[in-house]
Amino acid sequence: MKKLFFTAFAVVVFSSVAMANSTELKETTTLQNVIKVVEVENQATPCENAAIDYYEATGSNDPAFFTYLIAMCH
Amino acid sequence: MKYFFFSLLFTSIVYSQQTVIVTYDFHTSFSNNELKNEDAKKLFGNTVELANNQKFQLSYSENKASFKYIDQLGLDSDPQLLNISRMAFTSLDVYTNLEAKAQITVRNDGTLVESKITPLDWEITAESKNIGGYLCYKALFNENFIDSFGKNRSTKIVAWFAPSLPFSLGPKYFYGLPGLILEVTEYVNSHGNTFLANTIELRDKKENIKFPNGKTVTKEEYDKKFQYSDGAVLLAKKREETKGKE
């Protein structure tokens, strides 16, 4: 009886540990995918790069003007 | 000496009853040679050409003034290009109330941005030249600010004012000299953006300078709108890249 109880207990514990690890792995993978998506979205498009170069060349200090230039790209 | 002061007082009293209308031409020494991005280079060339053909009118009467773009027939231009050239090089419409010490700028989206007039730290020199028959003296001031990329910058302003025209105004938001500004240059990135008086008309009667109607916002409130825009995110990223390279 004791052996049966111990075996059952071991199976339960072992299964919990195994599942916890796989859950953790899934969460890590998902988080990495999210980070990759955010990085891709923040890359400037060629049009936006042109807008940045134009804005910088004028020496302007007007955020509304820069937003206007970027908006032309969308 | 008494005769001199009497003449100056008489001139001031006489001119205080009058209206002055000045048209200004614009010229920039910017060119697109320094740009490497081909699309930016093309846009720069087009907007510089457009800016160099723009004219503005300063109207002043009874402590109020307007500085406005003159819509010229025959100057065919894309409205977007016109907006860009005005924001990049020339000027948006500016209204000044010297009594209330306030200026209103009409943004391209129609928003009226109000700012308080604070004294400009002009340095008046003894250097003089003749502009359109008026003896003008040179005045300088440096406008210090932190740019969109987080760098400390300074724009040098050089103005030529005519004491014989006792109106403390000029193009854009420039004011506070003891005479009308007939020429003013802003030096940006070692290039000059210059407004030069072309015609000056003095009228005997007072005129009503019409200000735009509507609610105004402060510059801080207006700039806050763009704090989290796509443009702001890209600027922040560019700022980090610039700091990283330094």
Q: What is the pLDDT along chain B (246 residues), one digit of tens a residue?
A: 554 444 445 555 555 558 999 999 999 999 888 888 999 999 999 999 999 999 999 999 999 999 999 988 666 678 999 999 999 999 999 999 999 999 999 999 999 999 999 889 999 999 999 999 999 999 999 988 877 667 788 899 999 999 999 999 999 999 999 999 999 999 988 899 999 999 999 999 999 999 999 999 998 899 888 766 666 677 677 666 666 655
Helices A63-71 + B230-245 axis angle, to 10: 110
pLDDT for A21? 52
Is the interface score ipTM higher than 0.90?
no
Residue B5 has what pLDDT? 45
Whether the per-residue pLDDT at A37 is higher than 90: the answer is no
Provide, as residue numbers in chain B, all residues whose Cβ is less than 8 Å from the Cβ of A49: 37
Residue in chain B nearest A65 by alpha carbon: B87
B37 three-class SS: coil
Q: Identify the pLDDT of residue B6.
A: 47
Of A44, A53, A66, the CB nearest to B40: A53
Chain A CB contacts of B84 below 8 Å: 65, 68-69
Q: Where are the alpha helices (DSSP H) in chain B?
A: 2-16, 38-51, 79-88, 219-224, 230-245
Give the single-character DSSP code of B210.
Answer: P
Q: Using a CB–CB cutoff of 8 Å, tell me whether B88 touches chain A.
A: yes
Sign of torsion, CA A55 A60 A65 A66? positive
pLDDT band at residue A28 using 50, 70 and 90 as cut-offs: low
Check if B242 contacts A (Cβ < 8 Å). Answer: no
For B237, the closest chain A residue by CA position comes to: A42
Residue range A54-61: mean pLDDT, rounded: 90
Q: Per the CB < 8 Å rule, is A67 touching B226?
A: yes
Mark yes or no for CB contact A74/B153 under 8 Å. Answer: no
What pLDDT sits at residue B154? 86
Round the average pLDDT of chain A to a whole number and report it: 73
Contact between residue B81 and residue B53 where contact means Cβ atoms under 8 Å apart: no
Residues of A with CB below 8 A from B222's CB?
A: 64
pLDDT at B75: 63
Give the span between the Cα atoms of B14 and B12, in whole angstroms: 5
What number of H helices and E strands is found in chain B? Answer: 5, 12
Residues in chain A with CB shorter than 8 Å from the CB of B34 are 57
Test mutation, A39, A47, A49, A54, chain B, max B CBs within 10 A:
A54
Give the pLDDT of residue A34.
54
Name which of A70, A64, A74 is nearest B227 in CA terms: A64
Look at A43 and B100; give whichever has higher pLDDT.
B100
Q: Which residue type occupies A41?
A: E
pLDDT for A44 equals: 79
Cα separation, B245 vs B71, in Å, equals 44
B228 touches chain A (CB under 8 A): no
Q: What integer pLDDT is reported at residue A30 of this predicted model?
A: 59
What pLDDT score does B56 carry?
A: 98
The confidence score (pLDDT) of residue A35 equals: 52
Closest-CA distance of chain B to residue A64, Å:
6
Asked if residues B157 and B171 have their Cβ atoms less than 8 Å apart, the reply is no
Q: Do B237 and A42 touch (CB under 8 A)?
A: yes
User: What residues of chain B lie within 8 A of the CB of A62, using their CB?
Assistant: 87
From A44, A57, A60, residue closest to B40, measured CB to CB? A57
